[in-house]
Amino acid sequence: ISRLSLLSENGTEYLPTEIDALQFSSPESKQMEEERQRSLENIRNLIINHINQFHKLPTTDEIHQVIGNDVLIGIPMTDAENLQYAYHIRYVSKLVVDRELNIVLPDYSNMIIPLEPQQKAVYILFLKHKDEGILLSKIAEHQAELENIYSTLMPNKNEAMVKKIAENICRPSSKNLQQNISKINATFRKAILNPEISTKFCITGQRRHPYSIHIPNVELPAFFK
């Protein structure tokens, strides 16, 4: 585990457990602690927003350039298990498809997952069937439903084009569905750095068994229900 320490004005070095154990003797101690918690929450949101915008972690050098040498931070950039600790992504966010048809994770500072229209249509289809899942070999049974979703996402597309796109995705001999699923999953894994959590947002399953999305809390617009 990487080392994190704080240097006080007189040069005393405190480790995290010692920092937590510090007790302020002044009457303002409770207020100071509340301010400290608000400050930590702001830092958390800034880091998550950075990841959401640039799709990568700020490096240790970049952090040092921003905050100087008063706080010494060490983050193991190659240790995926510790990323969830470093960035507080230790729980599964609610997923919302908002009025603008964005896929939003509100518990991760309203992170928007950037999917292309075909990918988004496929993902919403699986969201609608997340409890029972969908057999990939039976995807053609959902073609009409996929057409309705895609036409809602792309209202300017003519009916013939929407039908052609849905047919291509649902054609058994086509690899279009698998390619879309692969791109969807890659996008979530890039956006959410903790693999244990990101997998829950992915479309996953085993051969000859239904594929589904394993997130407990989903909010869809009424016209998608």
Q: pLDDT digits over 53-101, tens only?
A: 887 777 766 665 555 433 323 333 344 444 443 344 567 899 999 999 9
The dihedral sign for the CA sequence 34, 10, 47, 84: negative
pLDDT at 9: 43
Residues 72/66, Cβ–Cβ less than 8 Å: no
pLDDT at 90: 63
Query: Distances from the Cα of 192 to the Cαs of 2, 44, 93, 201, in angstroms?
Result: 21, 14, 11, 9
Question: What are 122-160's pLDDT values in tens digits?
Answer: 999 999 999 999 999 999 999 999 999 999 999 999 999
Residues 95/184, Cβ–Cβ less than 8 Å: no
Side-chain-facing half-sphere of 6: CA atoms under 13 Å: 10
Question: What are 177-194's pLDDT values in tens digits?
Answer: 999 999 999 999 988 877
pLDDT over 70 for what percent of the chain?
A: 74
Query: Distances from the Cα of 3 to the Cαs of 25, 141, 193, in angstroms?
Result: 27, 54, 21
pLDDT at 64: 52
pLDDT at 17: 43
Ramachandran angles phi, psi of 211, nearest 5°:
-95, 145
Selection from 88, 119, 69, 101 nearest residue 192 by Cα:
88
pLDDT at 118 over 60: yes
Mean pLDDT of the 154-171 span: 95
Mean pLDDT of the 37-45 span: 77
Mean pLDDT of the 209-221 span: 94
Of 11-25, 26-40, 47-61, the least confident: 11-25
Q: What is the mean pLDDT of the chain?
A: 78
pLDDT at 36: 77
| DSSP conformational letter for 65 | H
> Which residues are bridge partners to 211 per DSSP?
134
pLDDT at 204 over 50: yes
| SS3 category, 108 | helix
Ramachandran angles phi, psi of 5, nearest 5°:
-145, 165
User: If pLDDT is split at 50, 70 and 90, which confidence band does 107 have?
Assistant: confident
| DSSP conformational letter for 15 | -
pLDDT at 28: 62
pLDDT at 207 over 70: yes
Beta-strand relationship, 212-213 and 203-204: antiparallel
Predicted TM-score (pTM) of the model is 0.63
User: If pLDDT is split at 50, 70 and 90, which confidence band does 35 have?
Assistant: confident
Q: How many other CB atoms are there within 10 angstroms of residue 204's CB atom?
A: 15
Rounded Cα gap, residues 25 and 28, in angstroms: 8
pLDDT at 51: 80
Provide the strand spans (E) within 51-171: 71-73, 95-97, 103-105, 111-113
Amino acid (one-letter) located at 182: S
